[in-house]
Structure 1
Amino acid sequence: MWLIYYIIAINIIGVFIMAWDKMKARSGAWRISENNLLLIALVGGSVGIYLGLKVFRHKTRHYKFSVGVPIIFLIQAGIVVWLFYQVRV
């Protein structure tokens, strides 16, 4: 059950981080590095980062976000499905 809470929390963080970085980009202020944004996606926040990509139209021209984040999501979804079947068997 803790895994579900973690996934929800990290994805909420991902959306907020993308919104914050978009605000910083508009104002010309210090930004969150792309590596840190991708790290959030890698540790389970791929859905949140992707939602931020679409909702805030942020980082949409960057190949590693427009293609990389969906790939990360597919890998994570595959792992979740695999874990689900391991627990059920």
Structure 2
Amino acid sequence: MCVYIAVCSLVGFIAMCIDKSAACKGQYRIPERTLFTIAGIGGALGVLSGMYVLKHKTRHLKFTIGIPLLLVLNAAAVFLVFCFL
């Protein structure tokens, strides 16, 4: 489970890097739905880290509220898996 979360978080961080780079160059962007999906399936820590390390999407209310909320849900899921399985 820890490896899964680590891989998802790495994917989330890389996705934020790619999106930030594309935004600076005026290129095709990663859809917000995709970023939220990555965060929802376990990559919230990576997406949140990417937001603040890269200063990307930090002014968007749905990201500043939604991604930390998904991080809490990710943590709860990990807790439940470790406690009950």
TM bracket, shorter-chain basis? over 0.9
Aligned with residue 59 of structure 1, among 42, 57, 73: 57
Number of residue-to-residue matches in the alignment: 85
Structure 1 alignment gaps of length 5 or more: none
Aligned with residue 72 of structure 1, among 58, 64, 70: 70
Partner of 1:8: 6
Pair 1:29 & 2:27 matched: yes
Q: Distance in 1 between matches of 2:4 and 2:78?
A: 13
Shift of 1:10: 1.0
Pair 1:85 & 2:83 matched: yes
Q: Give the aligned residue type for 2:27.
A: A
Percent identity of paired positions between Structure 1 and Structure 2: 36
Q: Give the aligned residue type for 2:83.
A: Y
Root-mean-square deviation (CA, aligned residues, Å) is: 0.9
Q: Tell which structure's C-alpha radius of gyration is larger.
A: 1
- The runs of 4+ residues in structure 1 deviating greater than 6 Å are none
Structure 2 alignment gaps of length 5 or more: none
TM-score, normalised to structure 2, is 0.94
